[in-house]
């Protein structure tokens, strides 16, 4: 059996994605009931961080512990990757010592190169092109609160970044309509948009994107590594804040999500972020834990 990797959502079929979401909800229920499992007993997750993160490290490390396994945190200071060793060589060595690898990095090609030479499943925990683990959590959150996203309208307001690209892939797999609203010059990758066909529409007016939407999401205007662009981006995105006024154009029961960390007063108003009737960001953040446990279980089962 070939080793399965999770580099983008498109590494799953629509049915496999549905199964992972259902299992994530089941694992969350078991956790809330105090029921533990040792499905990862004796298993080790290698966590390679070239980009720092709070949610990614805590969710993966806690997830392995809750399933009876263990995790190793590896920063560039801790590995030869930070000293110039070829990614291919690191993949060959690390994958002989651990059972699964998670990478949070810059260039998406780094994840692809590592996976191509790994004996064990590799998970993209974030690259400059995609953030598929976050979408697992987002989809789980919508299913928990509103049911299947199939046939729904989802609005993305903000930068055409890695999160936006993963929302495009989610539209393909979950069969929802995605409207992307971004300023001129900040659109998502044209090839990724084209691959989604008529499921995706790019507009520039946020109200047009949000009108009658069931689910609205955004992200920071300047992602990690773009700090020098902060001023220019703040000016370009000035009218792209998601707030109660903008959400008033969505469906009455629409929900809001944000992958966090959030910059209150910039891409989202503080009032909306804290409005638990609309904002589901805290459930969304927690669901990283359960969705990733379900994903790791799936990859292990399908790579043996």
Count, residues in the chain: 304
Strands annotated E in the chain: 44-49, 70-74, 100-104, 122-126, 153-157, 177-181, 200-203, 215-218, 255-258
| Residue 115 CB partners (closer than 8 Å, separation 6+) | 5, 7, 91, 122
Give me the helices (H) in 84-243, please: 87-94, 108-116, 132-146, 162-174, 190-195, 206-210, 230-236
Would you name the residues annotated as active-site residues? 104, 131, 134, 219, 259, 288
Q: How far apart are CA 212 and CA 215, in angstroms?
A: 9
Closest among 302, 301, 299, 304 to 101, alpha carbons compared: 299
What are residue 243's phi and psi, to 5 degrees? -145, -175
Handedness of CA 32, 36, 38, 41 (dihedral sign): positive
Stated as kind and residue range, the H or E segment containing 291 is helix 281-301
For residue 81, what is the DSSP state?
Answer: G
> Cis before residue 163, ω within 30 degrees of 0?
no
What are residue 71's phi and psi, to 5 degrees? -135, 145
């Amino acid at each position: 059996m070939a080793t399965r990797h999770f580099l983008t959502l498109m590494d799953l079929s629509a049915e496999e994605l549905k199964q992972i979401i259902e299992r994530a909800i089941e694992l969350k229920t078991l956790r809330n009931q105090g029921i533990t499992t040792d499905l990862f007993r004796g298993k080790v997750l290698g966590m390679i961080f070239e980009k720092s993160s709070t949610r990614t490290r805590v969710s993966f490390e806690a997830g392995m512990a809750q399933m009876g396994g263990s995790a190793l945190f590896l920063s560039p200071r801790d590995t030869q990757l930070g000293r110039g060793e070829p990614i291919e060589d690191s993949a060959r060595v690390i994958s002989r010592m651990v059972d699964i690898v998670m990478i949070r990095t810059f260039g998406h090609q780094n994840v692809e190169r590592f996976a191509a030479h790994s004996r064990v499943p590799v998970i993209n925990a974030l690259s400059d092109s995609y953030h598929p683990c976050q979408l697992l959590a987002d989809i789980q959150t919508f299913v928990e609160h509103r049911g299947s996203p199939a046939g729904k309208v989802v609005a993305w307001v903000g930068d055409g970044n890695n999160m936006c690209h993963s929302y495009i892939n989610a539209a393909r797999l979950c069969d929802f309509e995605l409207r992307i609203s971004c300023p001129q010059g900040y659109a998502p990758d044209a090839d990724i948009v084209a691959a989604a066909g008529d499921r995706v529409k790019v507009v520039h007016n946020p109200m047009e994107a949000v009108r009658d939407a069931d689910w609205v999401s955004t992200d920071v205007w300047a992602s990690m590594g773009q700090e020098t662009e902060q001023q220019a981006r703040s000016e370009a995105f000035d009218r792209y804040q998601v707030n109660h006024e903008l959400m008033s154009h969505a469906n009455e029961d629409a929900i809001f999500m944000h992958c966090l960390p959030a910059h209150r007063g910039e891409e989202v108003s503080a009032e909306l972020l804290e409005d638990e009737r609309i904002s589901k960001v805290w459930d969304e953040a927690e669901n990283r834990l359960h969705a990733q446990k379900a994903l790791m279980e799936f990859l292990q089962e399908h790579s043996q």
